[in-house]
Amino acid sequence: MAFTERYINAVNSSDLRDDEHHHSTDALAASSIADNGSGGLLGSLLCRVKYSDGSTAREFCGGSTNLSALLKIWLIEVEKKGRARVWVKIGSDRDISTAHALYKRVAEKSLAHWLDSNCKVCNGTKYVEHAACKDCFGTGIAAIECNSQYERDRIRDMVSDIEGVYQAHGSRAAAMLRRAA
C-alpha cells in the first residue's frame, strides 16, 4: 500500500491505538518525521491540507488553520524562488511592489491549482456525455486561469515545484514505513 493511501487510512481511522496489531499511527508519525531532514514543515502540511482537512478528522487537525499556515510557508518559498530566478528585475520601489504582488498571486494560484486541479466541467473524469471534455481536452486537468502567459508559466513552474516537494516528502515517509516494518 502506498504512503498516501496509508496516510488517508490513518487520518480517517477511528482506532489510533499503537500496538502489535494496530499500525494506523505509523503513517502519521512517518509524515511528521519525514520533514525533519528537509528543514521545514512543507511536506507534512501538504499532506495534511490535501488529504485530511476535508475529512471527518477536520476538527482534530485544525481545519483551515493548516491551509493558512501552508499558504504563509508557500508564499515565503515562492518569494525565494522568484528572487533567485529573477522573475522581476528590481530597479525601483515600484518594481519591488510589482514583484511582491506577482509572488503573492503565483503562490495563491499555484497552491490552489495543486490542491484541486480537476476540470470543473467534467470534474476530472475527462468525459462529458460520453465524449472527451472540450474544456480540458480530455485531460481532466483544469487550465490555469490567468491573464498573462508570463504569470501562467510561473504558476505552472510552482505547481511543478510543489508537486516535487510533496513527492519527495512521500518518498521519505514511505522509506521510514519500510524500515519500521
In the prediction, which pLDDT does 25 show?
75
Of 43, 45, 41, 5, nearest to 26 by C-alpha is 5
What mean pLDDT comes out for the span 103-115?
A: 95
Distance, in Å, from the CA atom of 4 to the CA atom of 25, rounded to the nearest integer, reads 13
Q: Is 1 or 168 the better-scoring residue by pLDDT?
A: 168
**Cα–Cα distance measured from residue 151 to residue 94, given in angstroms and rounded to the nearest whole number:** 18
Identify the pLDDT of residue 55: 45
Dmax (CA) for the chain in angstroms is 63
Domain ranges of the chain: 3-180
Dihedral of the CA atoms 121, 4, 31, 34 (nearest 10)? -100
pLDDT tens readout for residues 31-84 = 777 777 665 678 888 888 887 755 444 444 445 678 888 999 999 999 999 999
- Taking 60 as the threshold, does the pLDDT of residue 151 lie above it? yes
Contact between 166 and 46 under an 8 Å Cβ cutoff? The reply is yes
- Mean pLDDT, rounded, of the chain: 84
| Residue 143 in this model has a pLDDT that exceeds 70 | yes
* The pLDDT of residue 80: 96
Burial string for 88-108 (b: 16+ CB within 10 Å, else e) reads: beeeeeeeeeebeebbebbbe
- pLDDT tens digits, 110-135: 999 999 999 999 999 999 999 999 99
Query: Cell for 159?
Result: 505547481
CB 37 within 8 A of CB 172: yes
Mean pLDDT of all residues in 123-150: 92
